[in-house]
Amino acid sequence: MLEVALAARVSPETLRKIESGRVATPAFSTVAAIADVLGLSLDVVWAEISEPERGAEPAGSRRARTRSA
């Protein structure tokens, strides 16, 4: 973790906070720097964070179902 943080030019504590969820919305530049160090494209990162949780209903499906019931 230390190597990644230093290469991304963020503090190790900041990286720990991001990993643990204590920083809910890290700055875009921080995410981009970490992704670059890890060899991840931002497209891959975005796909991972915007993918709905497995088993979760798509937005609006519950509302549509209750209206039709």
Burial class (CB in 10 A: 0-12, 13-18, 19+), 34: buried
Q: What is this structure's pTM? A: 0.68
What type of residue is 48? E
Task: Give the model's pLDDT for residue 49.
Answer: 85
Return the domain boundaries, the chain: 2-68
Task: Tell me which of 3.90.79.10, 1.10.260.40, 1.10.10.10, 3.30.930.10 is the CATH number of domain 2-68.
Answer: 1.10.260.40
What does the pLDDT look like over 10-35, one tens digit per residue?
Answer: 999 999 999 999 998 999 999 999 99
Q: How many CA atoms lie within 13 A of 31 on its CB side?
A: 13
Task: State both tokens at 44.
Answer: 């891959």
Cβ distance 34 to 15 under 8 Å? yes
